[in-house]
Amino acid sequence: MTAARLRPDRPLTRLLDGLPAALAVVVGAAAMIVYSVGQWRAMQVPSWDLAIFSELAKAYSRLEAPVVPIKGEGYNLLGDHFHPLLVLLGPVWRLFPTPLALLVVQDLLLAISAWPLTRLATRLLGRLAATVLGLFYVLSWGFQGAVASQFHEIAFAVPLLAWAAVAFVEGRWRSCALWLAPLVLIKEDLGLTVLMAGLAIALRGWQGAAQQPTHRGPAWWRRLSTARLGVLVALFGAAAFLLTVLVLLPALSPSGTWEYGLTGGGGADTSLIARLLSSEVKLQTLGALVGTAGLIGLTSPWMALVLPTLSWRFLSSNEFYWGWQNWHYNAILIPIALGALLDAVARLQAAPDAPATEVPGTPTPGTQQPDPEAPHATPGWSAVPMWARWAAALGVVLPLATGLLTLRDLPLWSITRSGYGAPSPRTQAAAQVMDLIPAGASVETDLGLLAYLVPDHTVYWVGTSEVDTDYVVVDSLSSAWGGNPPTDAAAWATGQSQNGAVYELVLDEGGYQLARRVS
């Protein structure tokens, strides 16, 4: 007998059990899209990433290699990070040729990842607990930082990890492996995440965790098969990582090397151990992560998937990698942590009236396999010892407390402020600049209008360009200048030219200067 008791599978029951997941997806998508649209209208530009990926999507929409002039003349972005799965952005750009479309795609990817995890929470904990957990998840600190920093390839990894986590908890090992495999096509370091996932599967198989079998055989043979599958997944992840960083990235990179190691300069720490243990912000990130996993999630082998990401971030001397409030680096940690929490809850629930190796909702050999998406099981908590109930309650309460404590410190809180999303006061001046640049012209600029110019122009960034472009745009308020922007865009562009190009100033309005090449 499993720890989850079956109840009649009525249409109304199925509908009600799907509401928590649907609510999480809709609320999350709506909140994130409202934030992204407001950020776009207000012309807030946190980094050059959105412009870079917009040039990539633009190239893919033309069935071209992802050459991104913002990174440098002829720069193939597959040599920066290995993310061939981003070819899926090509059709999106073809239909909606605007960087805003990429922001909406990211918002939807993050939101839809709440579906499988909230459905699993419903089966394990009931509708109320699943609703609050789903809402916490989709509005979590890791997702808000990703949305605020705008588009990044890591968004494609989040739903894959969410579905893989659910398959892991339910003992569907082959499904788990299939969800994990595409991660190596999203970012090179995710091969190490797949490695850790494979080891987690192998451990569960070796321990004799129940599975939804696809073939018959004695228990020891099924355990061996699961462990063997886990080892193969781990080897696949490791091989993909090594192939990517030692062969593919060096072959595609202009520098001929993998450009992202652990020795990035600038920090005062001189040893890896010192970097790992230093800085209060690293401890804050770990605290937020432990809270998301409800503490009990640390007992799940699935939690080990966070180790590669945390390691390369904390061992780097780049302080941008360490924090919990900003940027996109925390997004993939969230489905891992909640998956580990639900895995721990499933183990607690299975303990009293099922063998310790059986997963709630998993059929014994010879029984019909249930549809994992059909929420027909009611948790049987009445038979669970009191200590296990308290542990599960702690696991649910801690993420919610984490969410409430960090609510006002996170980007989406700004939606509640009056006037959020109003057009920037500089919108009219920016429009004047862009109207004066003919479609198809090449433009060198800073961060201010970088993404906004991509749809109709070939865009270069002032920090990497060695090309004499048709136009140069200087935004005096852009952070790219470090508070010391050129006072005359034409004189600056003429002075920067390596081929004797001459520019004239054609517009000086609202903090923007536009210079045109005349010879």
The secondary structure of 382-427 as a DSSP string is GGS-HHHHHHHHHHHHHHHHHHHHHGGGSGGGGGGSTTTTPPPTTH
Residue with tokens 């569960």: 204
pLDDT at 34: 96
pLDDT at 226: 84
pTM of the predicted structure, to 2 decimals:
0.87
Q: Tokens for 257, please give them.
A: 């090397």
d(CA 415, CA 30): 11
Contacts of 194 (CB under 8 A, 6+ apart): 180, 181, 183, 184, 233, 234, 236, 237, 240
φ/ψ (deg, to 5) at 100: -60, -30
Q: HSE of 30 in the Cβ direction (CA atoms, 13 Å)?
A: 7
Nearest alpha-carbon partner for 32 in 89, 112, 88, 95: 112
Buried residues in 87-99 as b, exposed as e (16+ CB within 10 A) = bebbebbeeeebb
Give the three-class secondary structure for 182: helix
Rg of the chain (C-alpha set): 25
At 313, which amino acid appears? R
Total residues found in the chain within this entry = 519
Count of CB atoms situated within 10 Å of the CB of 356: 11
Q: In the beta sheet, which residues pair with residue 377?
A: 6
d(CA 130, CA 377): 14
Contacts of 222 (CB under 8 A, 6+ apart): 211, 213, 365
Tell me what percent of the chain is helix, strand and coil, each rounded to the nearest 5.
60, 5, 35
H/E/C letters for each residue in 271-309?
A: CHHHHHHCCHHHHHHHHHHHHHCCCHHHHCHHHHHHHHH
Give the three-class secondary structure for 501: coil
d(CA 49, CA 384): 49
Q: In the beta sheet, which residues pair with residue 445?
A: 461, 473
Q: Where are the domains positioned within the chain?
A: 4-44+98-416, 427-517
Per-residue model confidence as pLDDT tens for the chain (519 residues):
333 444 455 788 788 888 999 999 999 999 999 999 999 999 999 999 999 999 999 999 999 999 999 999 999 999 999 999 999 999 999 999 999 999 999 999 999 999 999 999 999 999 999 999 999 999 999 999 999 999 999 999 999 999 999 999 999 999 999 999 999 999 999 999 999 999 999 998 877 654 444 455 566 566 778 889 999 999 999 999 999 999 999 999 888 888 776 544 444 445 666 666 677 888 888 999 999 999 999 999 999 999 999 988 888 877 888 888 888 999 999 999 999 999 999 988 886 544 443 444 444 333 444 444 444 444 467 777 788 888 888 889 999 998 888 888 899 999 988 889 899 899 999 999 999 999 999 999 999 999 999 999 999 999 888 899 999 999 999 988 988 999 999 999 999 998 999 999 999 999 999 999 998
Nearest alpha-carbon partner for 115 in 399, 400, 372: 372
Sheet containing 442-445: give its strands across: 458-461, 442-445, 471-475, 512-517, 503-509
Buried residues in 27-63 as b, exposed as e (16+ CB within 10 A) = bbbebbbebbebbbebbebebbbbbbbbbbbbbbbee
User: How much is the mean pLDDT over the chain?
Assistant: 86
